[in-house]
A and B are shown apart, each in its own frame.
Chain A
């Protein structure tokens, strides 16, 4: 198991982060160095001022009001997934270090762990709901015809990441808290990788390793997939109002 952990949760993490950062950098560099469209591609109505256009871009990107109007069902599930994913991401930041203030506000370390358990459980469940909705949606009619293997691969990787994350949350969440994962992750950041005893005893290591295996693959594939919409959508929605 220790070897599995070293591959997935040490070297895999280094590789995943490196490929992700370089890949996204390359993608942004390619976009930035390709000449802008000679034709103004904006559509109406559009705000007259630059700041108006900027805020419309934020609104169009973060809330997608037009999409909500035409396909509310898809919009709800997409919102559920994206908001939950953001919440999960923010929650994971605890492995870098404990949040300031928040634990005191909640009434101590124990209360913070309880809050994190609830928040993480909800976010993890909602993400799963979103991904299952998309998997089902891509199984039928025009959605199936439009889908390419990339779509299914990404959903498979996401499903793996989430299901193993939820597994860690629901099975081991009672006795392994952020501080344990923090010890491991901060050792990675310090380039002195190690695993705390708690992760090496029992089967939790297999679960963490699998969660990280999916995460590594997801990070490696991310910059070469349609997931670059995470940043590209801001640029494209800005052009809408130009």
Chain B
């Protein structure tokens, strides 16, 4: 391996090193308790997807260049240089990982494999092996941020169309998607699709919320790609917007990583305290229902309903109960998946894997446990507040002919609201 290239890659490790990472690398006993925690290993049986193995590749490089014992006796640790073989395997095991951290949950030492893989991504990017699709998605988002004026026209016309649909649902001629509203309390940072804005707008308007929509989407492919600078720039788009509008609170949509990025990562990337309260939209909705600001009727949703905890919102975000309370408010026929909450199986669609065609095969196989759970629940409706989860589960639904309806939670809420045109809320996901 060329010296310059090697120095670049070891430089990445040096730069990324921190106490937790070092401890994770030092203490893993390779006991492999994580093996049955990983949906990808369980679904494929492929050794490279065993969580401890994914981390082991980084450990091998670390031992070879940073650890005295490893330099002295590399063979003892199978320490080696980051050659093509290693980088090939690292690419597969790293970009396939959905970052669900179920392995961390069961690890006796709570080793965060996903955190170790954030270094793996940085190494791959430095080696020119970052995932191209995720990189392009990140760059497109940054381009939109840098050239906001260029897209303002299409955005506004899109919001106008959605406002029209909102009015058709609520029947109130005053209702609309608020844009660029200074002095709003809430900045709702949605996803790029109308499906993420329409039902939220219905709920905000019905609740009489003082809100405004962001010109940018909450999804962050820089995070999935593994480039913290790109990730920071993508998030910064709506942080700057929130500052300009003087809002009190940023509300993120039904998207798993968007919440985690805003609540847990942005401060570390930007090295400044998050100036706003970050709330998940389902926390707001739960509050609206409990305080009577919106009304939902039980009985409008047909069939047995179940709920999937997106890993980034549940295990990694701590929002277990609010979404369930919402679902239980719209139906008496609720059943939980087993296991659930912190032990919920990852659906297999996180980490940007749905955008990477090359991992389609492992992605579908890794959904085996989710399919098993869904079948066992006997439910016909699944509520799921994460875009990537829904894309994956919709595909599993088709491939395994489960015959389920997959809903956003806010669509379920709008459908349960006594409104003149409420069935329209569900159109997008049906």
| Contacts from A to B (Cβ < 8 Å) | 27, 30-32, 34-41, 43-46, 60-61, 64, 66-67, 69-71, 74, 78, 142-143, 145-151, 153, 224-226, 228-229, 232-233, 235-237, 239-240
Contact = CB atoms under 8 A, between A and B. Distances in A.
A157 to B, nearest CB: 12
Contacts of B4: none
A147 to B, nearest CB: 6
Given A146-B30, A229-B29, A229-B109, A39 B76 contact: no
Given A60-B110, A71-B36, A78 B31 contact: yes
A237 B24 CA distance: 10
A31 B23 CA distance: 7
Nearest to B260: A39
23 contacts: A34-B17, A34-B19, A38-B271, A39-B265, A40-B264, A41-B115, A43-B105, A44-B314, A44-B342, A61-B109, A66-B106, A70-B37, A148-B56, A153-B76, A226-B27, A232-B27, A233-B27, A233-B109, A236-B20, A236-B24, A236-B110, A237-B110, A239-B112
Contacts of A31: 19, 22-23, 26
A8 to B, nearest CB: 22
B29 A226 contact: yes
B194 to A, nearest CB: 31
Nearest to A39: B268
A35 B18 contact: yes
B208 interface: no
B316 A43 contact: yes
A143 B32 CA distance: 7
Given A31-B23, A149-B75, A41 B314 contact: no
B424 interface: no
Contacts of A67: 33, 106-108
A150 B76 contact: yes
Contacts of B76: 148-150, 153
B53 interface: yes
Nearest to A60: B110
Contacts of A35: 18-19
A31 B271 CA distance: 22
Interface string B333-360: 0000000011100000000000000000
Interface string B160-190: 0000000000000000000000000000000
A240 to B, nearest CB: 4
B111 interface: yes
Contacts of A236: 20, 23-24, 27, 109-111
A147 B264 CA distance: 34
B342 A41 contact: no
A69 to B, nearest CB: 7
A151 B30 contact: yes
B35 interface: yes
Nearest to B112: A41
B104 A240 contact: yes
B247 to A, nearest CB: 24
B31 A148 contact: no
Interface of B: 17-24, 26-33, 35-37, 47, 50, 52-53, 56, 68-69, 75-78, 101, 104-112, 115, 264-265, 267-268, 271, 314-318, 320, 341-343
A232 B26 contact: yes
A34 B66 CA distance: 13
Nearest to B101: A43
Interface centre among A69, A71, A145 (most CB of B within 10 A): A71
Contacts of B318: 44-46
A196 B63 CA distance: 44
Given A30-B22, A43-B316, A145 B111 contact: no
Contact of A38 (B18, B52, B316, B342): B18
A226 B28 CA distance: 6
Given A37-B115, A146-B50, A229-B27, A70 B36 contact: yes
Contacts of A60: 108, 110
Contacts of B106: 66-67, 69-70
Interface centre among A27, A32, A148, A151 (most CB of B within 10 A): A148
Contacts of A153: 76
Contacts of A150: 76-77
Nearest to B22: A34
Nearest to B115: A41
A36 B33 contact: no
A222 to B, nearest CB: 11
Nearest to A27: B26
A142 B19 contact: no
Nearest to A233: B109
Contacts of B32: 142-143, 146
In order of increasing CB-CB distance, the 7 nearest A-B pairs are: A38-B268, A240-B110, A44-B318, A224-B69, A232-B27, A229-B27, A64-B108
Nearest to B104: A43
A74 B110 CA distance: 16
A147 B56 CA distance: 10
Contacts of B20: 36-37, 41, 236, 239
Contacts of B315: 43-44
Interface centre among A39, A60, A228 (most CB of B within 10 A): A39
Contacts of B36: 70-71
Nearest to A34: B19
